[in-house]
Chain A
Amino acid sequence: MLSAHGLSCVRGERRLFAQLDLAVSAGQWLHVRGENGAGKTSLLRLLAGLAQPAEGEVHWCGQPIGQAESGYRNQLLYFGHHGALKEDLSALENLSFAAAMDGATLSETQALTSLHRMGLRGREDLPIRVLSAGQKRRVMLARMATRNAKLWILDEPFTALDVKAVDLLSKLVSDHLVNGGMAVLTSHQAMPIAGGLVVQL
């Protein structure tokens, strides 16, 4: 359902990749691999619609992602290198505002359940800046669980996660795929999730 044809990306004077084709359907996930600087983050940003490719197009269900009718943004969850969390707000507030900006409704109980499931019981009301790096990442996991997005595009999601959190994330992604979702991930590490298509940059 997510497909790209003839993608090429230019950063400054370097051509990172050219004529790249890829496709991901329900239940599949894409593992983007490559060395540092190969263009993994750039590719993910192109797929998310944050940047325009030098050539080629990205399609969602047959329609270009730039068009509003494609409903792409409703189905997309993207996390870049930054946590996308406001440091001065609490985990609960971050989740509520994120939902409000997505135009979705998220009740407080739903948010709390998700946060507790990610191991943040007792920390929901503390400002994010007092949480550890791993705990901040767990708030992101809670966001992934509460937002009903079909496509997850995650850039280095396993960074700063301890063993338990790695298991949590792997389970989240696997459940997501089993339920008909799709994912595009980059990682330096070997991915503890079965059955991925590989894109090598």
Chain B
Amino acid sequence: MNAMWATLRRDLLVVMRRKSEVLTALFFFVIVCSLFPLGIGPEPGLLRKIAPGVLWVCALLATMLGLQRMFAADHADGTLEQMAISPTALVWLVVGKIGAHWLVSGLPLVLMAPVLGLQFDLDAEALGVLMLALLLGTPVLSLIGAIGAALTLGVRGGGVLLSLLVLPLYIPVLIFGAGAVESHIAGLGAGGHLSLLAALLVLAVFFAPWAATAALRIALE
């Protein structure tokens, strides 16, 4: 368990020394989200309607930008091999890495979303639902993304292939995440969608690390 926290701290430390990588994904999120009101026009009613979907799709794309580097750097400099033969089970170290990835890629999205939601004229309660949905959904994106990143480690055409593999598995998260905000706006309450998101999170927490670890061992052979 100590090793898991050590892995998480190490990844965060490495990121702090190379802040540009992280900020790029965040800026991408902000810019792409802002493109929609610019392209579609400022009519508030329309913007409010498309806001949940647009914000979620942008969050998905921004997360995918950072997925490749989850394991690639460690694979290139040999630290992944060391993790694979460490006395601590690899699955715990992978959980640490996924945690670091979420803290760096997912949590900033959750925190930025209200600011961007204002561009779409969402009210405060809707923004709250959006943040909660993102809080539940972005870890799922990191967890499932880890499986894709591990499967495509060192494979040519990795980035695009990773997107092809991971996006179909992201679709349920997108549907429930955007659906939560939409049904709140429609007055139906977000409870159902949020519960399903929470269920997805629980499932992902239990199964994704194992799948990602198995895929990593295959990539290391």
Contacts and interface: CB of A to CB of B under 8 A. Distances in A.
Asked if chains A and B are in direct contact (CB within 8 A), the reply is yes
Q: Give chain B's interface secondary structure class.
A: helix
A57 interface: no
B221 A50 contact: yes
A176 B88 CA distance: 24
A93 B13 CA distance: 10
27 contacts: A51-B220, A51-B221, A73-B86, A73-B87, A78-B81, A80-B78, A83-B78, A84-B78, A84-B81, A84-B82, A85-B78, A85-B79, A86-B10, A86-B14, A87-B77, A89-B10, A89-B14, A98-B82, A100-B3, A101-B3, A101-B6, A101-B7, A101-B88, A101-B93, A102-B3, A102-B87, A127-B17
Contacts, number: 76
Interface in A106-146: 127
A50 B84 contact: yes
A175 interface: no
A112 B85 CA distance: 25
Contact of A84 (B9, B18, B79, B220): B79
Contacts of A78: 81-82, 85
B21 to A, nearest CB: 11
Q: Give chain A's interface secondary structure class.
A: loop
Interface of B: 2-3, 6-7, 9-10, 13-14, 17-18, 76-79, 81-88, 93, 220-221
Q: Give chain A's interface residue range (CB within 8 Å of chain B).
A: 20 to 34
A103 B78 contact: no
B81 A103 contact: no
Nearest to A65: B85
